[in-house]
């Protein structure tokens, strides 16, 4: 496998890139070889790396390599390069939701070089025929297609409508933003006649693909680490459900699970109480006062852009209601709610918004 993934077409032109990928493939295969399983895919699943979102999965092979006495220089970047080779070489097929927690600057170019040159060339020609302003969308669309090849195998011509529905559904579940960009890849595939003639012509078919999520599914879109708090948010939403329509329930779940607790855990790993120290409460309020989005620059690189969150007041009101409701319900059902009663970190919403924007 090492020979295969370090031979054409897996050889980049740059010597440094070639050396890094070779080191990464060797280290990943050495790590995976230490795990039980009859195939590389089975060993990859056994590793439980996909339980760790983002780039932190490399902690697992790093621990093994360091215990084996290997020199740690360049380890993390090597491992990322090695994973790119294993994925594009169809040695392993990661879970789609896990892949969407990571950035993939090189996935589409490498997939085009080693898996499906003809398919990606056709996509590039389609993009060149469009307007210059749509080049960024074309780059995102190419990455979406490369993700499907990484997780499903095959080439672009093998992508099905069902694969696209699954990808759009997963994008929603892991809370990837993008509006039209979420489904632009489908329209480009249809323009290339990848699908049969009876394939949906518009993006409306994807609107109902996910259906209505259960309360547990709404909360589990976000990687909450503290299980008791996750269960509390589920119980809270279930208590509120009779008085809310689905859109409002979705909005409250996004606030509590996504903008509130997931952000709090990112700022204070290991926290397991709703009682926020003053410094942590201030840091969280400052954090949600702005929203960040990633755009593709003219050179094709990802650029993070920050802007004021216009509905920051609404988010604070929902979190404040969460604390106050629990305090009120604890008087009626202390066994169920009393353990979670703590002072609310939000005192006056207008003042909080002003302080968060101008600390």
Q: Is the dihedral of CA 335, 336, 337, 339 positive or negative?
A: positive
Q: Are residues 226 and 256 in the same domain?
A: yes
Q: Are residues 88 and 98 in the same domain?
A: no
Q: Are residues 200 and 219 in the same domain?
A: no
pLDDT at 303: 61
Phi–psi pair at 199, nearest 5 degrees: -65, 145
pLDDT at 134: 61
Proportion of the chain above pLDDT 70, given as a percent: 85
State the residue range of the domain holding 253.
Answer: 215-357
Q: Which of 211, 238, 255 is the last residue before a domain boundary? A: 211
pLDDT per position as a tens digit, 48-106:
999 888 888 999 999 898 888 876 666 788 999 999 999 999 999 999 999 988 888 89
* Total domains present in the chain: 3
> Residue 227 burial by CB count (10 A; 0-12/13-18/19+): exposed, middle or buried?
exposed
* Cis peptide, bond prior to residue 284, ω within 30 of zero: no
* Residue the block writes with tokens 């509130």: 260
Q: Are residues 97 and 13 in the same domain?
A: no
pLDDT of 227 strictly over 80: yes
Q: Which of 163, 196, 211 is the last residue before a domain boundary? A: 211
Q: Tell me how long the chain is.
A: 359
Q: Are residues 198 and 324 in the same domain?
A: no
Q: Which of 188, 211, 234 is the last residue before a domain boundary? A: 211
Taking the model in full, what pTM does it have? Answer: 0.60
Identify the residue with better confidence: 172 or 33: 33
Q: Are residues 131 and 61 in the same domain?
A: no
Q: Beta-carbon neighbour count of residue 335 at 10 Å?
A: 7
Q: Are residues 4 and 137 in the same domain?
A: no
Q: Are residues 101 and 87 in the same domain?
A: no
* Residue the block writes with tokens 């699908």: 195
Q: Are residues 62 and 119 in the same domain?
A: no
> CB-based contacts of 186: which residues, under 8 Å, 6+ apart?
164, 168, 203, 206
Q: Are residues 125 and 135 in the same domain?
A: yes
DSSP 3-state assignment of 175? coil
């Amino acid at each position: 496998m090492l020979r295969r993934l370090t031979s054409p077409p897996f050889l980049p032109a740059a010597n440094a890139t070639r050396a890094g990928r070779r080191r990464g493939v060797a280290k990943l295969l050495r790590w995976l070889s230490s795990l039980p399983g009859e195939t590389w895919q089975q060993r990859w699943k056994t590793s439980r790396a996909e339980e760790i979102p983002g780039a932190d999965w490399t902690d697992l092979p790093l621990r093994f390599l360091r215990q084996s006495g290997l020199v740690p220089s360049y380890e993390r970047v090597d491992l990322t390069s090695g994973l790119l080779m294993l994925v594009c070489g169809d040695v392993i097929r990661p879970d789609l939701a896990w892949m969407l927690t990571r950035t993939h600057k090189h996935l589409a170019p490498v997939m085009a070089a080693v898996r499906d040159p003809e398919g990606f060339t056709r996509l590039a020609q389609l993009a060149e025929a469009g307007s210059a302003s749509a080049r960024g969308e074309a780059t995102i669309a190419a990455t979406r297609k490369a993700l499907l090849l990484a997780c499903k195998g095959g080439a672009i011509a093998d992508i099905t409508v069902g694969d696209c529905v699954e990808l759009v559904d997963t994008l929603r579940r892991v809370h990837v933003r993008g509006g039209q960009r979420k489904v632009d890849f489908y329209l480009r595939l249809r323009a290339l006649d990848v699908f049969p003639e009876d394939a949906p012509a518009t993006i409306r078919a994807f609107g109902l693909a996910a259906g209505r999520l259960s309360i547990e599914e709404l909360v589990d879109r976000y990687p909450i680490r503290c299980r008791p708090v996750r269960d509390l948010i589920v119980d809270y939403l279930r208590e509120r459900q009779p008085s809310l329509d689905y859109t409002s329930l979705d909005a409250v779940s996004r606030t509590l699970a996504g903008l509130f607790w997931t952000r709090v855990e990112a700022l204070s790993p290991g926290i397991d109480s709703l009682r926020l120290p003053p410094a942590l409460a201030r840091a969280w309020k400052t954090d949600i006062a702005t929203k960040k989005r990633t755009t593709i620059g003219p050179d094709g690189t990802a650029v993070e852009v920050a802007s004021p969150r216009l509905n920051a007041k609404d988010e604070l009101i929902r979190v404040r209601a969460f604390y106050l409701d629990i305090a009120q319900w604890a008087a009626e059902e202390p066994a169920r709610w009393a353990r979670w009663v703590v002072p609310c970190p939000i005192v006056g919403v207008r003042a909080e918004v002003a302080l968060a924007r101008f600390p």
